[in-house]
Copies of this chain bind each other. A is one copy, B any other.
Amino acid sequence: MLPPGLRRAIELFSRLPGVGDKTAARFVMHLLSGDRALAGALAEALRELDTSIVPCPRCASFADAADGLCLICADTRRDPRVLCVVARVQDLLGFERSGAMRGQYFVLHKLLSPLDGVSPQDLPVSRLLARVADGVEEVILATPPTVDGEATALFLARELRPSGARVTRLASGVPHGGDLEFADQITLGRALEGRKAIE
C-alpha cells in the first residue's frame, strides 16, 4: 500500500531496539508529513556515524576518528586513578548525568552470559589489566545488579586482584524515591546488609 522506498524505511526503523512496525511507520510519516528537513539531516548524521565514530583505544567508549582518544580519556581534569568499569556506553552516560563520577571509564560492551554464549575469554580482560596497570588505584565494577552483571563483576574482581588496585562494587539497595512495599526481596535484603550508621 506504500511505495517500496517508504516500506523499506519503515522496515529499517523497526530494527531499532524497542521499535515495532507501527512506531517505525509513525517515525517515517513524521519525516514525510511533519519535519521533512529531519530526514536529510538524519541521513547525513547516520552516514557520519558509520564512518567517523570509532571505539576509544583506551576505554572502548566511542571516539571521533579524528581525535583518537574519546573526550573523557582526553580530558586532563578527569582523575585517571579511578576507573569505572561499565557494561555499556549508555551506563557511562548515566554516570555522567549523575555528575558523581570524577574518574575515567572502561567499557566492556558485554557481560558474562552462558545463555548468550559469552564466556570469560570473550571479555577484554587483558586490555582492562593493561589499563589498570597504567596508574589506576581504584577499579569500580559498575556492571548492572543482574545475574550476568554480578557474575562479570566477581570474575573481573578475581582477575584484578594481582593488580593491587582497590576493587569496589556499586552499592545495591532501594532506589531513591523507591517504594519499599514494591521493592523485591533481594533488593531489600541488600539494602539491609548495606545499611549505614546515621552520623
Show the binding face of A for B, using Cβ within 8 Å: 1-6, 8-9, 12-13, 15-19, 22-23, 25-36, 38-50, 52-53, 62-64, 67, 70-72, 88-90, 92-93, 96, 109
A41 CB → nearest B CB, Å: 6
How many copies of the polypeptide does the oligomer hold? 2
> Are A47 and B53 neighbours in the complex by a CB distance under 8 Å?
no
Residues of B within 8 A of A27 (CB): 16-17, 19
Nearest opposing residue in chain B for A66, CB measure? B3
Instruction: Give chain B nearest CB distance to A75 CB in angstroms.
Output: 9
Q: How far is the CA of A39 from the CA of B42 in the complex (A)?
A: 10
B38 and A47 contacting across the interface, CB-CB below 8 Å: no
Which of these, B25, B31, B41, B93, contacts A90 with CB under 8 Å? Answer: B25
Whether A9 pairs with B96 at a CB distance below 8 angstroms is no
Q: Decide: A41 and B12 in contact? CB cutoff 8 A.
A: yes
CB distance from A95 to the nearest CB of B (A): 9
Cross-chain contact B50 with A36 (CB below 8 angstroms): yes
- A88 & B17 in contact (Cβ 8 Å cutoff): no
Q: Are B62 and A3 within 8 A (Cβ)?
A: yes
Residues of B within 8 A of A71 (CB): 1-3
Can you list 8 A-B contacts (CB < 8 A)? A3-B64, A8-B45, A16-B38, A17-B34, A31-B46, A32-B49, A39-B46, A40-B46
| Shortest CB distance A49–B (Å) | 5
Q: How far is the CA of A22 from the CA of B90 in the complex (A)?
A: 8
